[in-house]
Structure 1
Amino acid sequence: MYQFDWQVFEDEEYSHDSEISFAKLNERNYITASGTAKDKTSDKEFLALADALSAIAAKISEGPDGVINISGFRTYRPYPLQAMWSGGNLEERTNFQLWIKQPNMVPEEFFHAAIEQLDLDAKLLARIKYVRMAEGTEIQSYTDGNIADTIYKLESEVYARELTQLSQTEHREVYVDGYGKGAASPSTNSD
């Protein structure tokens, strides 16, 4: 069992609730990569990068069991994959940036230690980075179906509350139930 499970301790941020909610995203660590995916989450480039990021995140989460000696390590469930989609209207959003959050106890050197232990394609590895950033407040809702309807619902709530939407040409999807062909649909967020 995990000492830290995001599904339990960060359930508001990684919700399965279709009701609108807000989450404050403080400064945090991410493993990240970017690309273009005409076929969205079933695209070969998307899947190759998503699988590489997931392998790195899984290796880091093994901590000492994976021969990465992390001071103060607590076992934890690896975070879900997130994709920021951009590029015009919803159908034109084929540019993506992938993120997998890392706990604050995981500094960049453990990212590099995990990579050294994995047999990943060098071209993919050249595109994968470790970053630390804060995002502010986001509006979110879960969908298990139509992303366009969910985005419309989010945008309507932003308008009704007289908030300012930072971008009209991008949205984030958090694959709380997995990604790729056959995976459940994402939780959709908008900054």
Structure 2
Amino acid sequence: MPPSPLPESMMPELDRVYRSRWEALLAVDEMVADVIGALEVNALLDNTYVIYTSDNGYHIGQFSQVYDKRQPYEADIKVPLVIRGPGLKKNAQNPQPVLNIDIAPTILHLAGVKAPEMDGRPVKIEKEEVDERYMLVEYYGEGRDGSVDPNCPWKYDSDNLAQCYPEYDCKCQDAKNNTFACLRHIAKRLNMKYCIFADSEV
């Protein structure tokens, strides 16, 4: 959707949003420092697993997207997972593909508890080779009446579009035909993603 590439006039606003998000992360840094400090003071740190993850990252200008995360790009579908605790190597990286459904079995495994039958599997933290894995990535695009500004040229299609505002040159953040399902296949020498969009256009 136009404008692509994003116009230079939009850059100061994208820079402001980017700086504001980094500033907001200072509160997370302070909270993590407080939690680690409390564990140290109470002599619990050496016997505690600290697990950090988050939501997906946002585009802030990448791929000519203003500020959203609704496409099957890596930046949209990957989230960080950091684990610190007893028996884990410092600053080690693990190439295993992990799904959200793996987090609960991983926590149970680290706690030494036998997991009930459930979706997902514990992360093999010390394993350095990639296990073969198939993953589903999907998203349902939205059109939202009332979120297309009447000053934008797309107001005639407001049922199919969402979040179109003049301050972002009317670049809409979503559309109903941005509905997709992807199969992700990762193995030792393989990393592929195949996506199909719910769109009748050829």
Q: Which has the higher contact order (CA 8 A, sep 6+)?
A: 1
Report TM bin, short chain. under 0.3
Greater Rg over alpha carbons, structure? 2
TM-score (norm 2): 0.25
TM-score (norm 1): 0.26
Higher strand share: 1
